[in-house]
Chains A and B, each alone.
Chain A
């Protein structure tokens, strides 16, 4: 399974845009890139998923370069409630669904007022 590398922590202020970059040099052809958010004592929550180029939904954007060896999660205008741990995972490929996602260390985002 592809291993991911993210910054351990990031700090930001309310209203700013936050970009978290993840490296996944060994990503396989069939692998997708998925980002999750986790608050303390809660299960991870799906944020966004993509395969290449750019994906945008109501909460975030995901930028993936052509070589797919990295990806960047962009959170526009963060608020205090965005303080959480963000995980980048690869491997949600189109398979039978029997393979679990493997979590890396994640990025702890702290948003200040």
Chain B
């Protein structure tokens, strides 16, 4: 199956700093990638849709100026958490869909654990 990687797998940062998380599709091209956030014991919540070559589409309630998304190439999307605060501490997961063989499948990265102190 298709492989999606994320880097870093975990990061600790101080309040007020910015953190960048990378999401890569390793063996396929993805014109669209998705970013989710998951708090402990909760389900995944879609944050935004990242489109290669265009602006990301954010879900309601997600601050686009705080969560900067850049889809620079067909294999890389980045999420930058700007001026991070402790309430931004969460598990961030990216995914991409492989289209073309019947129903498309959505593949997920391993996630990035962000802790803001």
Contact = CB atoms under 8 A, between A and B. Distances in A.
A58 B23 CA distance: 29
A97 B108 contact: no
Interface in B61-88: none
| Size category, A interface | 20 to 34
Contacts of B109: 43
A43 B103 contact: no
A44 B108 contact: yes
Contact of B97 (A45, A49, A51, A97): A97
Interface residues on B, range: 20 to 34
B60 interface: no
Interface string A16-55: 0000000000000000101010000111111001010000
A95 B97 CA distance: 10
A42 to B, nearest CB: 6
A112 interface: no
Contacts of B111: 41-43
Interface string B75-117: 0000000000000000101010111001111111111010000
The majority secondary structure among interface residues of chain B is strand
Given A43-B93, A97-B104, A106 B43 contact: yes
Chain B CB within 10 Å, residue with most, of A32, A41, A51: A41
A100 B106 contact: yes
B107 A46 contact: yes
Contacts of A105: 43
Nearest to B48: A100
B110 to A, nearest CB: 5
Contacts of B34: 100
24 contacts: A36-B108, A42-B110, A43-B6, A43-B93, A43-B108, A43-B111, A44-B44, A44-B93, A45-B108, A46-B105, A49-B103, A49-B105, A92-B97, A92-B104, A93-B103, A94-B103, A96-B99, A97-B104, A98-B31, A98-B49, A98-B51, A100-B46, A103-B44, A105-B43
Interface of B: 1, 4, 6, 31-32, 34, 36, 43-46, 49, 51, 91, 93, 95, 97-99, 102-111, 113
